[in-house]
Amino acid sequence: MKALTFSKFGGPEVMEYIDMPDPEPENGEVLVEMKAIGLNYADIYRRKGNYHLEGEPPFLAGYEGAGIIRQSNSENFRVGDRVGLADVPHTNAELVVAPEEKLIPLPKGITFQNAAGILLQGLTAQYLAEASYPIKENDLVVVHAAAGGVGQVLTQLAKIRKARVIGLSRKPEKLKIISESADYAVLLDNHWKEEVMKISNNAGADAVYDSVGVTLKDSMEVTKERGTTIFYGMSGGDPDPVDPRYLMDRSLSLTGGDLWGHIKTAEDRREKAGRLFSLLKKGELKLKEPVIFKLEEGRKAHEYLEWGKSSGKVILIP
């Protein structure tokens, strides 16, 4: 099979499209012929060496995608079944071995590209809106990186719950994208905190979702008394340490989140993905048109995503 790999850490130039042995499924596993693969920032972090990788090079990135089962050693899934993969490693390849408990059946009306475009980011936004802080009607919610993949879905889920949303971005050109679904689009500059406080009548927001990291203390400052700041990413760098006395003084809640802490069973994974698919089919949740690259164009795809050129999902097609 062909696969997109890297044998050393670095920029997009380290990506190599090479031949690798076809993987063999064991008992309880299936072999999936990939039809669409989602590219995420986590893949960039792995390529750079920011995330721990097991095994020896060449390394295969990718954790998300969709395809057709070509070989099955499972009693519950058959050859020809259409499935999505949300947390299965090594998806940047033509063929992927997946354990049956991590397979997500694709319903009619959900394409391979739909699944590859919504699963990881959608499931992340879902736990943020439901578990990290259950968004309620009339809440004022701040979403960092609101033009990004998770940010766009999180904003829409908040609006479905009838909350008001302030979407933030460091790039002026992204504000138009944010304004399509958020109530307010605010530039993340030296005055963004003043804007948030003005919108909130100086009360602060009920919840602030921070995926930037270095902005965490600022996010806590614009969270209202007894409100919640949710930290779930470090796209801008590591946050400074937090003094717990600050939390006590303002009765503030600070919580962290990671998707893998919220989908522990096959039933969880399929039920939550099923609700996302339902919102997509009803048109209540909308995705931007994806940007498509061939798997062999992996270097270009990494450059495109890393340099912030995309407002939609980047999809790799084997």
pLDDT given for residue 132 in this prediction:
97
Structural domain total, the chain: 2
If asked whether residues 141 and 242 sit together in one domain, one would say yes
Question: Domain with 201 in it: what CATH number?
Answer: 3.40.50.720
Q: Does 127 map to a domain? A: no
Is 132 inside a domain boundary?
A: no
Domain that holds residue 169: 137-256
What are the tokens at 228? 């919640």
Please indicate, yes or no, whether residues 115 and 144 belong to a single structural domain of this protein.
no
The confidence score (pLDDT) of residue 234 equals 85
Max CA-CA distance within the chain?
Answer: 61
CATH label of the domain that carries residue 300: 3.90.180.10
- Residue 111: other Cβ atoms inside 10 A: 14
Better-predicted residue by pLDDT, 197 or 61:
197
Same domain, 33 and 103: yes
Q: Which of 238, 256, 274 is the last residue of a domain?
A: 256
Percent of the chain with pLDDT over 90: 88
- Per the model's pLDDT, the better-predicted residue between 297 and 56 turns out to be 297
Q: With beta carbons less than 8 A apart as the criterion, state whether 225 and 252 touch.
A: yes
Residues 19-64: pLDDT tens digits?
999 999 999 999 999 999 999 988 998 999 887 777 889 999 899 9
Q: How far is CA 212 from CA 117, 170, 209, in A?
A: 22, 10, 9
Quote the pLDDT of residue 54: 78
pLDDT of residue 276: 97
Is 313 part of a structural domain of the chain? yes
- 278 and 228 share a domain? no
**Residue 88 and residue 108 share a domain:** yes
Task: Give the residue from 256, 277, 304 where a domain finishes.
Answer: 256
Domain for residue 204, yes or no? yes
Residue 86 inside a domain? The answer is yes
Question: Is 185 among the domain residues?
Answer: yes
> 293-318 as b/e, with b when 16 or more CB fall inside 10 Å?
bebebbbebbbbbbeeebbebbbbbb
Sign of CA dihedral 311, 171, 146, 174: negative
Q: What is the mean pLDDT of residues 92-97?
A: 98
Share of the chain above pLDDT 70, in %: 100
- Answer whether residue 311 shows pLDDT above 80: no
Q: If you average pLDDT over every residue of the chain, what do you get?
A: 95
- Per-residue pLDDT at 310 exceeds 80: no
Q: What is the pLDDT of residues 200-251, one digit of tens each?
A: 999 999 999 999 999 999 999 999 999 999 999 888 888 999 999 999 999 9
Same-domain check for residues 193 and 239: yes
Residue 309 has pLDDT above 80, yes or no: no
- Co-location of 170 and 195 in the same domain: yes
Asked if residue 124 belongs to a domain, the reply is no
**Of 256, 286, 302, which residue is a domain's last?**
256
| pLDDT in the model for residue 45 | 86
The answer on 218 and 112 residing in a single domain is no
The answer to whether residue 62 sits within a structural domain is: yes
Q: Of 156-165, 195-204, 303-312, give the lowest mean pLDDT range.
A: 303-312
Contacts of 225 (CB under 8 A, 6+ apart): 204, 250, 251, 252
